Amino acid sequence: MSTKKMKIRLAMREEGVFWNAYLALPDTMDRAKLIGSISIGAVKQDPKMREEFQALMQKVLANAIEDVTGDRPDTWDIGPAPESERSGNS
């Protein structure tokens, strides 16, 4: 795949009793699409499960990208959520 950055991201958010994974635009959650959820209790109790769920959601997103573009991402830029999306901010 080319080294061009995509204009999408995988956003992971704790919401109520779930840790949700969304396909989102780079700087907003407007029009974000839920792609998966897991119990927040499960991932807080087991850090390995948290990593495995995040890896699974990366695979789900990679499959969707490959279905649409014919290319599969092989690297991910991983970083914190934009300040406006962090806990305590609206």
88: in domain:
no
**Parent domain of 24:** 9-77
Structure tokens at 85: 């999306």
Indicate the DSSP class of residue 70.
Answer: S
Other beta carbons within 10 Å of 31: 9
Q: What is the CB-side half-sphere exposure of residue 13 using CA atoms within 13 A?
A: 22
In a domain, 57, yes or no: yes
Q: Which residues contact 78 (CB under 8 A, 6 or more apart)?
A: none
Is residue 2 included in any domain, yes or no? no
Query: What is the identity of the amino acid at 46?
Result: D
Q: Flag whether 85 is in a domain.
A: no
Query: What phi-psi label fits residue 48: left (phi over 0), alpha (psi between -120 and 50 degrees) or beta?
Result: alpha
58 lies in a domain?
yes
Domain count, the chain: 1
pLDDT 10s per residue in the chain (90 long)?
456 677 888 999 999 999 999 999 888 899 999 999 999 999 999 999 999 999 999 999 999 889 988 988 877 777 777 777 665 544
pTM above 0.75, yes or no: yes
